[in-house]
Chain A
């Protein structure tokens, strides 16, 4: 048997000659670094990787990856990525978007891309603010967020990106945090390996317009009590002393302290592979400060991808009727000959 060695990539191979222009301290730097690290291990050459983005700070990402890249227009990256995917099943296609790009102007495309389960890896950098247009509130900003465009506080309920993705039947849903580097690398690797649409929300700090919005989840002194790391098949335990857990009370999750008769057996056992997304949905609705917020893989199931089903249809017709010749196509209707 012959073996082919996997291409070995270094982070440097994936670095372009373009100067990175994000603000100092932006969470995007960490995401870029972890992405390069993650891709050194996925076993495909860089020319088969494509990064497609929309508009916004996050969407500058492709310029800094020495792969193929396309910086498109506001909100439409999923559509361009879908078109590419339909004709090029050999590529690994990443979509980089933000909370404004992906959920506001591009919300429609995001929902439809996810429900089709095309093999796209969609990264949503969520900083709960508009950065590139200088600090207006975004669709994920918490109710009452005061910004230049909402001086008395925002009035519309925020979208929970993972709830939306699960509602759109996403087959892979995960969340990670910009400065949690090891977790992010592992999450990106899981997304890369998933066959189908992988949707990953990344909590990302905007140093300039929304600094500290995720402090509860990143500050070392409090983070253990506010973040729950999901592990498939394991009870949902969290807390600095690993003494708290999540239990189901009817259809409601609740925080309980272990001890006094409550054991790990009483807690929810995380099942990312459950056919029904109900549990994943409940977890996506757990929000600080009432709950710890979950990070990790919420859902990972296998379903046929859109492009493979389309290819099956094409091949099926060719098998049944034979490959078509243009001459036959022209004459598919009634013809007559003029001598």
Chain B
């Protein structure tokens, strides 16, 4: 069962006494830390998440920050938020509604209040609500005083003053003192939800070890926040979310971008291949570069190129040299890389292209999530130019899918797209660390001797023994990969159409058509090596909800809820979008209706309708935000009520 619908619900044991304080047990809780970009909300949220994960909760997070590094302080544009959902049961989304909102200033209150549930805890920093702060957030009257917050459990704390008091013994500039206040707030929330401080104290020691004053101040204010909650009885109760029942194993917290980096290193190391990650910084993909640049111990080479085009060119050059070339970017970068991706299709070289999708078109919404690059990945090149497409469905699934991308790219000699998105890239969840020997084997063989056989009747010497034929294919239509430095296999490749088998330039019309079909068939053959599409729920029924990518958690949770209400509805999620699993059409046909929720205007919907001729219907949202579970749920009920 999932807990998302139980967020904030109290357990039957309402309030048990723990020492002198009543403690209420909850199944799951969603908290958002919101403040100015400079307030350290991302850090406070991350530390709270780590602590909850180590404590044994299931977790899912949603960071939400502005594109500007420092929008003017205190303004609505500068608000940065970090949402964490933690639970004693398995969860798949960062939560629809907030049980607790921490608002460090009026702007944070104004932009986040709509997500707080009625009766939710609203913890505000009263020191952030001065006259000028209120003006910057367009408040005419102070919302803390006009009664407009009466539906919430308002908790007012003078965080700036209390923080200042807590660190007064430490010699710091006023600015440095102010920068500690996020840890006071974190300490307070840790008290509220019975989280131990030790993981954060350890982090403070490691992070600020070289700066004892800052280390001391953060330690003091974190503890002061916790103790303040305890001493003043901030709320009549505090809360506990017990450990989740999670499969045995060793876990860590992982974001999509971290998983992407680890998956690349694991796949290439186990394949005994050098990897080159060549890229150009772009939000929200840059963290993959940052991760990999710091993994030189593992033989990883990274290259920050002069532009997106150079980055993909370098990756292709590395693959030509027998390494695994990888490039990571977001939608605008894919536009620039398109011509080179066509070259990799034509020359049939391995290449992994990670597209961490963001809101578009053009520069769009750099820090917000969207799934609107599917058709770009599918068709965004000149000519008939098929490229395999994979899409991870959760942050940790980025590990598996990028690993799979390396396998497919090297097995089939083709570029492969991995479509992540801003939500997966920055969101975090627990990851069961895999055992190395449980990971799929990737065996890469480079041809070292000529592959022509006497008696073949191809022109241009294809039949002579002792020749290397770069486009002589195997049973799945993949071509051999001969790398420079191999004696006797000297050959030339390029973007011009090539004669079948020999690879010589050919402008012959029949040959061109044959090669177009051959390259397409090769990509289709990938379906012979991937798992079938599975459904969660009834094998046939009234409705199939099918999606792809980062919406998995919301779709899955919504379908689970509908199933509990007795609807005959199932969920399927496509991790392979080109080619799709062999049985996709058959699965679609087993349901009376098909719903395709997407964070775009209907791109998978278009592919499914055109390929399988199903009267599928879309549920589309393009607001730079993930689906709420309730949005999907409502649509499911609407569709089934109409039937």
Contact = CB atoms under 8 A, between A and B. Distances in A.
B485 A71 contact: no
B504 A18 contact: yes
Interface stretch (A85-93, A124-132, A268-276): A85-93
Nearest to A69: B492
Interface in B447-494: 460-461, 484-494
A63 B492 CA distance: 6
Interface string A300-339: 0000000000100110011001111011011101111111
Interface stretch (B4-12, B293-301, B535-543): B293-301
Given A17-B460, A313-B296, A326-B269, A108 B306 contact: yes
A254 to B, nearest CB: 38
B493 A318 contact: no
18 contacts: A47-B489, A71-B492, A72-B343, A72-B495, A87-B321, A87-B323, A88-B321, A88-B485, A108-B306, A108-B310, A310-B301, A323-B299, A324-B295, A329-B295, A335-B433, A336-B56, A336-B252, A338-B251
Contacts of B378: none
B322 A71 contact: no
A80 B322 contact: no
B295 to A, nearest CB: 7
Contact of A83 (B246, B252, B276): B276
A86 B314 contact: yes
B585 interface: no
Interface in A61-110: 62-63, 65-73, 76, 78-88, 90-91, 108-109
Nearest to B494: A71
B253 A48 contact: no
B326 to A, nearest CB: 11
A79 B485 contact: no
B490 A72 contact: no
Contacts of B343: 72-73
Interface in B411-454: 433-434, 436
Q: Give the 10 A-B residue pairs with the shortest CB-CB distance, closest first.
A: A83-B317, A79-B313, A71-B494, A83-B314, A324-B297, A69-B492, A80-B317, A68-B484, A87-B323, A84-B317
B622 interface: no
Nearest to A50: B484
A46 interface: yes
A333 B203 CA distance: 11
Given A62-B492, A87-B322, A109-B310, A321 B317 contact: no
A285 interface: no
Contacts of B301: 86-87, 310, 314
Contacts of B340: 73, 76
B147 interface: no
A76 B315 CA distance: 12
Contact of A73 (B254, B315, B339, B490): B339
B90 interface: no
A68 B491 contact: yes
A48 B490 CA distance: 9
B69 interface: no
Interface residues of A, number: 59
A116 B496 CA distance: 30
Contacts of B436: 326-327
B154 interface: no
B309 interface: yes
B297 A318 contact: yes
Interface in A32-52: 45-48, 50, 52
Given A88-B484, A322-B297, A337 B250 contact: yes
B377 interface: no
A313 B297 CA distance: 10
A72 to B, nearest CB: 6
A62 B495 CA distance: 13
Contacts of A322: 297
Nearest to B245: A338
A324 B433 CA distance: 17
Contacts of A73: 339-340, 342-343, 495
Interface in B316-357: 316-323, 325, 339-340, 342-343, 347
A112 B342 CA distance: 23
B336 to A, nearest CB: 11
B515 interface: no
Nearest to B307: A108
Given A66-B490, A324-B295, A86 B276 contact: yes
A335 B296 contact: no
Given A71-B494, A330-B252, A336-B250, 20 more contacts: A47-B484, A47-B489, A62-B492, A62-B494, A63-B492, A63-B505, A70-B494, A71-B495, A73-B495, A79-B305, A79-B312, A79-B317, A82-B303, A83-B278, A83-B317, A86-B303, A88-B485, A313-B296, A336-B56, A338-B246
B505 A47 contact: no
Contacts of B316: 72, 80, 83
A87 B274 CA distance: 7
A16 interface: yes
B19 interface: no
A322 B298 CA distance: 9
Contact of B54 (A50, A91, A336): A336
Interface string B232-274: 0000000000000011111111100000001001100110001
A84 B433 contact: no
Contacts of A331: 250, 252, 433
Given A90-B485, A318-B296, A324-B295, A47 B490 contact: yes
Contacts of B323: 87-88
A328 B266 CA distance: 11
Given A79-B317, A83-B317, A331-B250, A67 B322 contact: no
Contacts of A78: 310, 313
B50 interface: yes
Contacts of A335: 250-252, 433
A337 B343 CA distance: 46
